[in-house]
Structure 1
Amino acid sequence: MALTFTVDPAFDRTLRDGITALWADVSNAGGAVGFVPPVAEDEVRAELVKHLAAMAEGRTHLVVGRDEDGTVAATAFLTHNTHRLMRHWIGAYTVMVHPRHQGKGFGRALMAATADAAQRLDGIDAIRLTCRGGTGADRFYASCGYKEVGRVPNAIRVAEDDYRDDVIMLLPLFR
């Protein structure tokens, strides 16, 4: 089984609900995608609206992976940098694979589809992303070709006594 990836698919209620459920499931399984468990779908939906607004304005692109049943199983959002001197790189956000699909190579497939999508955009030379230290995500992204280019110690507080580094990673895109 493999995922089928689409870039900037038509957005409808089914896709919205699929991304919302994915995001909540990933978060509640301990995934580092902006929430600390437990999280309700209503909380996630409110955050998703921000991504949707950026998509409607053309500032953000969605890469979505669907499993063989057509269920949303993976996502990454690519957001253009608005600073005039940094428009040559794009940021990857809310990169996630459903917990039931982890360990099957779908994360690597998502990262490859994300890089392919970014390469098709005019003037984009690199993808930048950040990840929460202490989760192993930095090792995963490194195995996908990303290089750690910075780290802000204790920048993320996931609990009163649990601080994590904000790890900054970059993937140069070769055309």
Structure 2
Amino acid sequence: MTEEFISGPLRVDQPHPELPQALTDLFGRVTVAGGATGFTATTELDTISALGGRIVEDVAARPKRRHLLIMGQERALAGVAVLRPATLPIHAHRGEIEWLLVDPELQSQGLGSRLLDAAVSHAQALGIAKLQLTTRSGQGLEDFYRRRGWTESGRWPASLRVAEDDLRDQLWFTRDV
């Protein structure tokens, strides 16, 4: 993929039938490149594919259980942000950005920032006042989020096993919307 002709971010209201496969492909590309997807390079494709299907089901549900913002290039996803509003009454003012993914070939071009900004704006439109997200150490993501107004609110040392000999910290970030 190249930078030219990238559309979005766009909110998905009516998922296209090919969207689960497109999500699976993007999760796979980011995972293989070492991205913080929650999967490892040895994760079975069926597991990643099942997640793509669940995300689309939740986007299509009424009421929506997840909100999806996408950026595309030709017939491939260049990036996605997945926003999940809280469901319990005492948490109704909160939401979580579950995933923020950008195709590895398109990183460092501002797409992640654009998706994150769009997700924050969409959360605000939904009446969400506080957002959270988690990520892992070792990839410079802490600085990415801090520069965009997020505050590190917790860290669990060596709690993520990326590979047999590679343990990373899980980090929690929060932001008022």
TM-score, structure 1 as length reference: 0.88
Task: Select 1:146's aligned residue among 135, 144, 150.
Answer: 150
The alpha-carbon deviation at position 39 of structure 1 amounts to 4.4
* Residue aligned with 1:154, SS: strand
User: Counterpart in 1 of 2:67?
Assistant: 61
Q: In the alignment, residue 114 of structure 2 is paired with which amino acid? A: A
Give the aligned CA root-mean-square deviation in angstroms: 1.7
| Mapped partners of 1:61, 1:167: distance in 2 | 23
Q: 1:6-25 alignment to 2 at 5 Å?
A: 6-25=10-29
| Mapped partners of 2:15, 2:31: distance in 1 | 22
| Mapped partners of 1:101, 1:11: distance in 2 | 23
Q: In the alignment, residue 21 of structure 1 is paired with which amino acid? A: D
Contact 2:86 2:95 in 1 (8 A): yes
Contact 2:21 2:52 in 1 (8 A): no
Unaligned runs of 5+ in 1: none
The alpha-carbon deviation at position 116 of structure 1 amounts to 1.2
Unaligned runs of 5+ in 2: none
Percent identity over the alignment is 30
1:120 and 2:153 are equivalent in the alignment: no
Q: In the alignment, residue 83 of structure 1 is paired with which amino acid? A: L
The alpha-carbon deviation at position 88 of structure 1 amounts to 0.9
Task: Select 2:108's aligned residue among 90, 103, 120.
Answer: 103
* Residue aligned with 1:141, SS: helix
